[in-house]
């Protein structure tokens, strides 16, 4: 069996989550909008899943919209901006394509996009302060970068935005793609004050095709979604009850494992020290996610990745989605200050809460062999 180190791309469902996914599909297959008791029961089960996720995230259930994943969550948000007069948006330069590809659409409709600087793995609030002006309507910064694991100071950036808001009368929406932060950093939607965030279940051992859009103030934001009026009119379409139930179980498993971050950090540090000893450059920093470590290999990423995969170790060159669009991952790395020649040789190793130290030690041995040590 292969050693799996590509958990930032996707994770495997736990046995209990998979069991719940299949049993719910069979026991509560009825449409939650149907008015007979079985439909009402399916609706109840769906709402119970929403309530339990809301409790874990310490937010109100009415602020959570179930979606088919973060890409759809981001699409619901950014397409809805087209209902507003064109204005200005400030973003990090290293957003996932689920977000950044919308900027071209917004530009087409007259929006101006301005990018913040990423320096030493972080974004400076003063840079944001300088770029804010009365025309800015949206600030969009991801919580954790999927390629390097850099954690951005979301709560401080939101605070900067709120201070700017006080100067005028306009509301500035703060959007944060929080896919890689869920369960993996001390994400707190309520305290950070973000207005909108998106998540995917499959990054935390939930099913694929399931996600959430968080809206701090759902009544104040009109979402461009048509259909049957499900999800309080925010996302039409028959609810994925079994997927949502499985998501809620997966997240419960993450949150009830209180030492997950500590274990991941120990694994991260072991790998960091060994790679450093081998003289390899490391793109990630230890204030970043303990679940992602990105380093520069001696060979082009695709070659090194294949050599590791031949030995039974599955890693990535960057973002799995970017593998479909060669060069995009390198561009994202360069936007974070990583030299182009290093970006071309970058390897991402990513863990989940069940990754074992012994597995990482086996990976280290494989890297030593490949590097002729
Ligand atoms: N945002 C980030 C940071 C991601 O890592 C991903 C997936 O890799 C996405 C968005 C898109 O998630 P999904 O493909 O589940 O919609």
- Ligand 1, residues at Cβ distance < 6 Å: 69-71, 96, 98, 142, 146, 177, 179-180, 200, 202, 319-321
Band (319; pLDDT cuts 50, 70, 90): low
CA of 71 to the centre of ligand 1 (A): 6
pLDDT (average), residues 94-106:
97
CA of 218 to the centre of ligand 1 (A): 23
Ligand 1 atom closest to 180 (CA): 3
Question: Does residue 162 have a pLDDT over 70?
Answer: yes
Band (168; pLDDT cuts 50, 70, 90): confident
Ligand 1 atom closest to 69 (CA): 16
DSSP state of 311: T
Whose CA is closest to atom 5 on ligand 1? 146
Ligand 1 atom closest to 321 (CA): 8
In whole angstroms, give the CA distance from residue 212 to residue 206: 12
Q: Considering the chain, what percentage of its residues have pLDDT values greater than 70?
A: 97
Please name every residue paired with 346 in a beta bridge, in sequence order, or none if there are none. 296
> What token pair was written down for 274?
């060994």
CA of 179 to the centre of ligand 1 (A): 6
Q: Considering the chain, what percentage of its residues have pLDDT values greater than 90?
A: 87
Band (225; pLDDT cuts 50, 70, 90): confident
Band (67; pLDDT cuts 50, 70, 90): very high
Torsion from C-alpha of 194, 199, 205, 206, nearest 10 degrees: 130
CA of 41 to the centre of ligand 1 (A): 31
> What token pair was written down for 308?
């590791």
Q: Which one of 96, 181, 213 would you pick to mutate in the ligand 1 pocket, going by the greatest count of ligand atoms within 8 A of its CB?
A: 96
pLDDT in tens, 261-308: 999 999 999 999 999 999 999 999 999 999 999 999 999 999 999 999
Average pLDDT, the chain: 94
Torsion from C-alpha of 16, 11, 67, 71, nearest 10 degrees: 180
CA of 359 to the centre of ligand 1 (A): 25
pLDDT of residue 326: 56
Ligand 1 atom closest to 74 (CA): 10
pLDDT (average), residues 119-144:
96
> What token pair was written down for 95?
């957003």
CA of 70 to the centre of ligand 1 (A): 6
Ligand 1 atom closest to 202 (CA): 15
SS3 content of the chain, % helix, strand, coil (to 5): 45, 15, 40
Ligand 1 atom closest to 144 (CA): 3
CA of 320 to the centre of ligand 1 (A): 9
The model carries a pTM of 0.95
> What token pair was written down for 94?
């290293």
In whole angstroms, give the CA distance from residue 113 to residue 102: 11
Residue 305 backbone phi and psi in degrees, to 5: -60, -45
CA of 247 to the centre of ligand 1 (A): 15
Band (318; pLDDT cuts 50, 70, 90): low
Whose CA is closest to 205, among 73, 17, 42?
Answer: 17
Ligand 1 atom closest to 10 (CA): 8
Band (228; pLDDT cuts 50, 70, 90): confident
Band (55; pLDDT cuts 50, 70, 90): very high
pLDDT in tens, 246-269: 999 999 999 999 999 999 999 999
Pairing of strands 173-177, 196-200: parallel
Question: Does residue 322 have a pLDDT over 50?
Answer: no
């Amino acid at each position: 069996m292969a050693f799996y180190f590509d958990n930032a791309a996707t994770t495997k469902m736990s046995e209990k989550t998979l069991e719940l996914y299949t049993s719910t599909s069979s026991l509560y297959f009825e449409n939650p909008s149907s008015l007979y008791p079985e439909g009402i029961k399916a609706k109840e089960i769906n709402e119970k899943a929403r309530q339990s996720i809301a409790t874990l995230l310490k937010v109100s259930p009415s602020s959570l919209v179930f979606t088919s994943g973060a890409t759809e969550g981001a699409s619901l948000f950014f397409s809805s901006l087209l209902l507003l007069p064109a204005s200005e948006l400030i973003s990090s330069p290293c957003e996932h394509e689920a977000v950044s590809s919308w900027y071209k659409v917004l530009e087409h409709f007259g929006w101006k996009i301005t990018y913040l600087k990423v320096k030493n793995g972080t974004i400076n609030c003063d840079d944001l302060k300088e770029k804010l002006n009365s025309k800015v309507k949206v600030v969009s910064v991801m919580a954790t970068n999927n390629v390097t694991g850099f954690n951005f100071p979301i709560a401080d950036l939101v605070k900067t935005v709120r201070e700017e808001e006080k100067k005028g009368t306009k509301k500035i929406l703060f959007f944060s793609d929080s896919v890689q932060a869920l369960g993996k950093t001390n994400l707190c939607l309520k305290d950070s004050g973000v207005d909108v965030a998106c998540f995917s279940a499959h990054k935390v051992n939930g099913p694929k095709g399931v996600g959430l859009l968080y809206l701090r103030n759902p009544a104040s934001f009109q979402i461009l979604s048509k259909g049957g009026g499900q999800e309080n009119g925010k996302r039409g379409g028959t609810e994925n009850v079994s997927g949502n139930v499985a998501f809620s179980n997966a997240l419960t498993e993450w949150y009830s494992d209180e030492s997950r971050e500590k274990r991941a950090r120990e694994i991260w540090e072991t790998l960091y020290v060994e790679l450093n000893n081998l003289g390899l450059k490391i793109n990630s920093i230890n204030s970043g996610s303990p679940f992602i470590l990105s380093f520069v290999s001696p060979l082009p990423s695709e070659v090194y990745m294949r050599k590791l995969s031949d030995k039974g170790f599955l890693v990535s060159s960057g973002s799995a989605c970017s593998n479909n669009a060669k060069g995009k991952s390198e561009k994202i790395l360069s936007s974070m200050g990583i030299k182009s020649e290093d970006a071309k040789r970058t390897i991402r190793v990513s863990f989940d809460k069940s990754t074992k130290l012994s597995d990482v030690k086996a990976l280290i041995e494989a890297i030593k062999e490949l590097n002729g040590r």
